[in-house]
Amino acid sequence: MDYSDLTTTGEAESQDFAMGESMDVSSEARVFETEAEATSSLSEFADGMASDAVEGCIEALVEDSAETDQDFTVGEVDVGELSFTPPDVDEARAWQIAIPIEVTSGQAKGVSATVYLDIVDLREGDTIVSVQTSDVLTPFDASLRRELVEKVAIRMSADSG
């Protein structure tokens, strides 16, 4: 994806919020020079998420970023659109990525789990906020994700008005 023709005029990232052993939530916001650029950015990201290459890119990213002393393999990554009720914003898109992982050495050899990463992108005017949730073994709690996304959407609408 090439975003070189887009101008970002502001960015912010939340801290990572964790609940329990494996639940994690974070968000990031990007403000573009124009609404058209924000629309284009979201469209290009959605096209990328629908491409055949995305699974391999995610697999490589997981393997490169792992902070563990265990060897592991990443199974076949599954990326799909996430079914959700979009909040009241100009545009909303969502994806769920399932990443199967198996430990191949050490004490945990043979242990396998699936990591579920959800990405919900909201666009209001010239701003895109991406809410990312993740959990291990089961998908992130849908009602909690809906509540968090709705709070973000309300804040976006208030800030743009």
Residue pLDDT tens, the chain, 161 long = 556 678 888 898 988 888 777 889 999 999 999 999 999 999 999 999 998 888 888 888 887 776 666 688 889 999 999 988 899 999 999 999 999 999 888 888 888 999 999 999 999 999 999 999 999 999 999 999 999 999 999 999 886 65
**66 within a domain of the structure (yes/no):** yes
Alpha helices in the chain (DSSP H): 35-49, 54-65, 142-160
Q: Can you give the pLDDT at residue 89? A: 95
**97 within a domain of the structure (yes/no):** yes
**136 within a domain of the structure (yes/no):** yes
**30 within a domain of the structure (yes/no):** yes
**88 within a domain of the structure (yes/no):** yes
Count how many domains the chain has: 1
80 CB-side CA count, 13 A = 9
Q: Can you give the pLDDT at residue 31? A: 94
**2 within a domain of the structure (yes/no):** no
**3 within a domain of the structure (yes/no):** no
Task: Give the residue numbers spanning the domain of 141.
Answer: 8-160
**45 within a domain of the structure (yes/no):** yes
pTM: predicted TM-score of the whole model, two decimal places: 0.88
